[in-house]
Amino acid sequence: MKLHPLNTLSADESGKFWLFTFIYSQDKLEAFAATLETMSKNISERAMGVAFMASPPPAFEPRFIVTTQFFGTETAARSALAPFFSIDPVVVQKHITFDQISDSSDQLDAKGGYKYITSTGMRTFHAEKLLNAFKYGLDMLVKHPELKKSILGTTFFNPGVMARVPDESTAWGHRDIVGWAMAVPFTDDAASFPLAEKYAEDFLEYLHESEKIASFPNHTRSRGAHERYPGEWRVKKLQRLKQEWDPAGVFPLDFHSSNFADQ
């Protein structure tokens, strides 16, 4: 394990960074999708973000939202994120410390209702696909308003950063993934939850098409190890480490000897 000072992430000596939230109305969907494709190809290495469709209170009307973190000055952030500013959003801007990075999503972890997070890797990032996927989401919310707490979205980032990290030095093997399509099926009652799960899975399946499935490691324990940690040598190394450091299976049983046949 390596420890790095927080100020290595930012020009700010305190290690603080900028968090921007851009909120768009439904009539901006086409521009929203086109901007995501542009940003996915040209985003600064100092930025990353999540773009999603949600229906926030109190109106619970669908909106398209982008949250981005930027490690650097405010001036540099506004320049790097200029395409998002250009399509007339409502903007919320914060200067925060690293321990506050997940504050805005903590509500998803609160008890109540039926929900979980699921995702799949995307090897291409096209505006038309995103546009159609979000249109599907809007149509479903009209037909089934009980799904309005569910969230559909995707991450975007500069994959070039990981290209400089030696492959053999990390458990992370998804070098060909340019974004993670993500969904949170979420309903208040058990009866409507199966529909929410289908809603989420249909969205993910459309975006990854017929490509080989890639699963974000932290989002599932049920999918195979090779989907989460691509590369046979990587899976075998994780199995050896599990046997060395946790042979009794005190922690999750991924890579435990009893599960080798399933991996």
Mind listing the pLDDT tens digit for each residue in 221-252?
777 788 888 888 988 998 898 889 988 888 87
Residue 234: HSE in the Cβ half-sphere, 13 Å Cα cutoff: 17
15-49 pLDDT per residue, tens? 788 999 999 999 999 999 999 999 988 888 889 99
Phi-psi region of 111 (alpha: psi -120 to 50; beta: other; left: phi over 0): beta
Kindly indicate the confidence band of residue 261, based on its pLDDT and cuts at 50, 70 and 90: very low
The pLDDT value recorded for residue 262 is: 45
Topology adopted by domain 6-101+109-219: Vanillyl-alcohol Oxidase; Chain A, domain 3 (3.40.462)
Q: Where are the domains of the chain?
A: 6-101+109-219, 232-262
Q: How far apart are alpha carbons 233 and 222 in whole angstroms?
A: 20
* CA-based R_g, the chain, Å: 19
The DSSP call for residue 192 is T
111-122 pLDDT per residue, tens? 788 999 999 999
* Cα–Cα separations (whole angstroms), residue 7 to 2, 4, 43, 78, 252: 15, 8, 21, 20, 33
The DSSP call for residue 23 is E
pTM of the model: 0.87
The pLDDT value recorded for residue 42 is: 87
More confident site: 107 or 23: 23
What average pLDDT does the segment 55-72 reach?
91
